[in-house]
Amino acid sequence: MAQKAIAVLTSGGDAPGMNAAVRAVVRSGINKGLRVFGVYRGYNGLLNGEIKEMNLRSVSEIIGNGGTMLYTARSEEFKKKEAQLRAAEFCRSNDISGVVVIGGDGSFQGARALTEAGINCIGVPGTIDNDIACSEYTVGYDTAMNTALEMVDRIRDTAQSHDRCSIVEVMGRRCGDIALQTGIATGATAILVPEVEFNIERDVIARIVNTQKTGKKHFIIVVAEGVGKVNDLAKYIEQRLGIEARATVLGHVQRGGSPTLRDRVVASEMGYRAVELLAQDIGNRVVVMRDGKITDLDITEALQMERVFDTELYKIAMTISI
Ligand code: ADP
Ligand code: F6P
């Protein structure tokens, strides 16, 4: 009988720490006597036959690198049933019985579809946004937050020198976690996130005016990408309050860079657990962090969960950033 094989791919937006997860999968798999293939460019690699067998040294020197050595992609084609069946057939023809999928919610839907097509898949949450409801933590989040923190600190230096208001947009299309964490850590006067309804007069203008009265002359406003319109907000603040305002969109700088210790460690634990499951022929699960511990959940159950925004932390930020 052929030696059992598994594969690993990264899909959707890249995130620092994905390499650490790939490394953990490859090394844990080989340690269990499995062959391990790297699949290049997400699900497209299964459709185009872009795979390569990995050995222990294939993943040397990657734990500290940002990005993903396996490259990533968004594959529209893979959303079609015919493509999923073809990908499953490709796996079978290479004796691949299981795949670790490192990505976000969308990638987990792909993992569920591939499991239904007969190949066990395990999802590992990898996205800077921390927007996966089933897990308290996603690989890449800590690095992204710390990058945003450093950038906002730099912006504060110049805002302070000029007595200006700086509006900073951080990533997070549907999720305000990076904005909330960065906002509280930099003492932002206002934080706007998609999860909390806001009113510009009450939640931005009045907060600036109130802190002005206590002698403050420069202001940081952190805005999540999902709220956007930071240039319009800067213009409005200038017209309304007569203070100079500048907008900065941090953008993809938050997606790159060497992963923090936390991202490297969590990615290693999650990658290891994913292989433990595949080695037991268990599929259709997502490795998650719950109550600070690494565990796993059924993919369908995981995809049905709703994200809970930390309103208590938001309240704390609004109370002390005055
Ligand atoms: P993320 O994984 O970061 O949420 P996307 O939503 O872009 O990113 O999804 C990544 C990829 O996962 C998609 O390009 C596609 O290949 C696959 N995918 C997403 N949704 C589905 C689906 N409903 N069925 C099958 N594959 C999907
Ligand atoms: O999901 C991660 C993320 O960085 C989001 O914060 C952002 O909206 C999106 O990906 C941008 O994706 P891209 O530029 O790769 O299309």
Q: What is the pLDDT of residue 322?
A: 84
- Catalytic choice (14, 129, 263, 296): 129
H-helix or E-strand spanning residue 279: helix 261-279
The answer to whether the CB of 307 is under 6 A from ligand 1 is no
Reply yes or no on whether 95 is catalytic: no
Stated as kind and residue range, the H or E segment containing 274 is: helix 261-279
Q: Where are the alpha helices (DSSP H) in 94-218?
A: 105-116, 141-162, 177-186, 200, 206-213
pLDDT of res. 30:
98
DSSP summary character for residue 225: T
Ligand 1 pocket test: which of 40, 76, 78, 82 has the largest number of ligand atoms within 8 Å of its C-beta?
78
Per-residue pLDDT, 294: 98
pLDDT tens, residue by residue, 75-122 = 999 999 999 999 999 999 999 999 999 999 999 999 999 999 999 999
10 lines ligand 2 (CB under 6 A): no
| Residue 273, helix vs strand vs coil | helix
pLDDT in tens, 30-57: 999 999 999 999 999 999 999 999 999 9
pLDDT tens sequence across 189-221: 999 999 999 999 999 999 999 999 999 999 999
pLDDT at position 17 is 98
Give residue 13 CA to ligand 2 midpoint distance, Å: 6
What pTM was estimated for this model as a whole?
Answer: 0.97
Please say if the pLDDT value at position 1 is more than 90.
no
Taking the alpha carbons at both ends of the chain, their separation in whole angstroms is 68
User: Mean pLDDT in the chain?
Assistant: 97
How far CA 97 is from CA of 34, 234, 281, in Å, comes to 10, 54, 8
| Alpha carbon of 166 to ligand 2 centroid (Å) | 23
pLDDT value at position 185?
A: 97
For 69, other C-beta atoms within 10 Å of its C-beta total 17
- CA 12 to centroid of ligand 2, rounded, Å: 8
Contact call for residues 311 and 149 (beta carbons, < 8 A): no
